[in-house]
Amino acid sequence: MKSSREAATDKKPAADGASTELFAALRGLLLARGSELSVVQDDDGHFYANCRKLDAKGKAQFFGAVKVAGRKHSFHFMPVYDFPELLVELSPALKKHMQGKSCFNFTSLDPAVLDELQGIVEQGASRYEAVGKL
């Protein structure tokens, strides 16, 4: 049997208001194209969506996800992997959030950075639509 101290360390940290707001804002960027997406998972701290249209082999095509791990919120957006030119004019403020080719990590909500990311999501979704993925 675990002590109360050990049991307390097993618990997930409670989401604070700022974390909840950041997750909701990032999730909302992806849900703006909700009718074109197939939501695979939508829980507290984890949102995952595929394109509704399947690829030529009948497989689901990943679109984007938001995952919370501690204070870090990871925003994955596949169109920037397929169309890296979408990132050419990235501001230094948003560029510092890049992790890998299609992931942005955040620990706080910055409205200007979020607005820029929203523009990239809109452009990426439009590109996916133009090539028949959405």
Domain that holds residue 54: 14-130
Q: Is residue 122 part of a domain?
A: yes
Residue at 109 is within a domain: yes
Does 42 map to a domain? yes
Residue 5 lies in a domain: no
Cα 84 from Cα 100, distance rounded (Å): 12
Say whether pLDDT at 3 is over 60: no
State the pTM of this model: 0.85
Residue 19 has a pLDDT of 87
CATH number at residue 78: 3.90.1150
35 within domain boundaries = yes
Q: How many domains does the chain have?
A: 1
Report the C-alpha gap between 111 and 60 in whole angstroms: 32
d(C-alpha 39, C-alpha 37), whole Å: 6
Q: Is residue 64 part of a domain?
A: yes
pLDDT tens-digit map of 11-70:
333 356 778 999 999 999 999 988 899 999 999 999 999 999 999 999 999 999 999 999
Residue with tokens 């703006």: 32
Let me know if residue 52 belongs to a domain: yes
Task: Give me the residue label for tokens 């590109």.
Answer: 127
In a domain, 4, yes or no: no
